Chain A
């Protein structure tokens, strides 16, 4: 298998805070990689750097062998890396339909047309199909602010998948979703992902979810990769037990309100 995404000694600090130090991660085509790590371990920072939202302080990011350091989110996304957000990034005061229509409008054109209408029958139908795939058609006419967390998360991921990425980075897709609904949400997402053939890296706190969906597991701790390997192997790692999955697990990560 050839490496799809590879980071070498990726590091980032915010003033005196080291959010990421020396991260080496490799993701191959077709892999579903789970990521665990307590609050502040650097998981979001890692995704932000890979997608061009944050510039690394040092290190290298290779996508299909080519460096993508210095590219902005638009360029990274066009190259084939898409992401979802810990806090769903949507257009809150607009309807679900408008959210999707805008997404298609932006996606289809390099320069947005000034005159041709967006809400055509054909475009609305296409939007409906997308919502159908994620099982949220019934919310189509609702404003985003009124949606349950799970639906927001799904819509956020649906928009990330629009570009048909080769690799999808999901930042806590099930956070804020009731325990009973987590599997249903992940099933929906994974069905769509499998259809597209994209590789996935997903940040998750629930070990059952990790065990069910990932083919490999990476544990982050304090801006570093603590362990990386088969799921059972990493879960049974003494350091991981002590520093990540042990007593740290019931941290109130839901409280974390952090955009992007």
Chain B
């Protein structure tokens, strides 16, 4: 337990140090990837309980808009304050929607969660105050009026993404080993048994849904600060689909899966787009197909096979 925590913190420090020297494009790519990794770590909690949400874009987008709108309204660039607000608002909304969603399973859960994200999309597209479908710009973040600067310019958003990733990573890693973490597996495997052991399946799912929303809001908030621009596309169903895509690619067997998946996804997308601007989605699709065929538990399972000495 201590070992894993130390490892995660060590990796975080290494990433922060590397950030000082990284070229700007890479810092940007990794920031967005880490933010998505945060969203997918939340999705992982649901997926391990057998629930695939096709609507995490709802909180990803809401978190981003919270940061953008509150930054304007309160005239602040204080990154910590804005992100905290994003998380709180997302959890508050999830507390309401979750009451309904925790009653549904399978395709109904997936479609209902997607429906809610599409409602937000619809509302934002029609809201001219927030730039309708164009969205609007977000001011660069500050940390109490200051921003760390590396070789290629300011990289506060990157720093925030790394710190959030370390925090959430440690949380998820430990969570998966806790009774609540195991309860996810239990719900997926047999709800009747869970109830007859004395736990409420709905309460378990509800808790996981709130945690997933918090992580998605966090990822969305960081994305807004990093990208400097937000638009309703973040709530569109294809964005939510991307998160599921990343989860499948990286694997949900371990907290690191979503992060690996997200980085791989962003890299693949960037290169696929450069190689073939019109058919890049096809390249991504083929990549996913290959991974599902040969590594059904995601890219992370490759790491596990190597470390556990199992044959490839």
Listed in ascending order, the chain A residues whose CB lies under 8 Å from chain B are 51, 53, 72-74, 77-78, 82-83, 85, 89-94, 98, 101-103, 105-109, 112-119, 159-160, 162-163, 259-260
Contact = CB atoms under 8 A, between A and B. Distances in A.
Given A102-B179, A114-B175, 10 more contacts: A51-B196, A74-B198, A78-B198, A101-B182, A102-B197, A105-B182, A105-B183, A114-B178, A115-B171, A116-B178
Given A91-B185, A91-B186, A91-B189, A105 B179 contact: yes
Given A112-B204, A113-B178, A119-B177, A83 B196 contact: yes
B193 interface: yes
Interface of B: 1, 171, 174-175, 177-183, 185-186, 189-190, 192-200, 204
A116 B1 CA distance: 10
Main secondary structure, interface of A, reads loop
17 contacts: A73-B195, A74-B198, A82-B196, A89-B192, A91-B190, A101-B182, A107-B198, A108-B179, A109-B179, A112-B199, A113-B178, A113-B179, A113-B180, A114-B178, A117-B1, A117-B178, A159-B197
Contacts, number: 94
Contacts of B199: 74, 106, 112
Given A112-B179, A118-B177, A102 B186 contact: yes
A106 B175 contact: no
Nearest to B191: A89
B180 A73 contact: no
Nearest to B187: A91
Contacts of A160: 196
Determine which residue in A85, A106, A117 has the highest number of CB atoms from chain B within 10 A of its CB, and name it: A106
A91 B179 contact: no
Contacts of A108: 179
A90 B190 contact: yes
A115 B192 contact: no
A160 B195 CA distance: 12
Contacts of A89: 190, 192-193, 196
Contacts of A82: 196
A260 B200 contact: no
Contacts of A119: 177
B195 A94 contact: no
B177 A260 contact: no
A106 B174 contact: no
B180 A114 contact: yes
Contacts of A259: 192
Contacts of B171: 115
Contacts of B175: 114-115
For the complex of A and B, 7 pairs with smallest distance between CB atoms: A105-B179, A91-B189, A112-B180, A106-B197, A106-B199, A112-B179, A89-B193
A55 B196 CA distance: 16
Contact of B196 (A77, A102, A113, A118): A77
Contact of A93 (B179, B181, B189, B196): B189
B196 A73 contact: yes
Given A90-B190, A92-B190, A102-B185, A72 B178 contact: no
B189 to A, nearest CB: 4
Given A89-B193, A94-B189, A102-B183, A163 B198 contact: yes
Contacts of A53: 192
A118 B177 CA distance: 6
A71 B230 CA distance: 49
B185 A118 contact: no
A85 B183 CA distance: 20
A232 B55 CA distance: 63
B45 to A, nearest CB: 11
Nearest to A117: B177
Contacts of B189: 90-94
B198 A77 contact: yes
Given A92-B189, A112-B179, A259-B192, A107 B174 contact: no
Contacts of A109: 179
A161 to B, nearest CB: 12
A148 B226 CA distance: 56
Nearest to A74: B198
A259 B178 CA distance: 29
Given A109-B179, A117-B177, A94 B185 contact: yes
Contacts of B178: 112-118
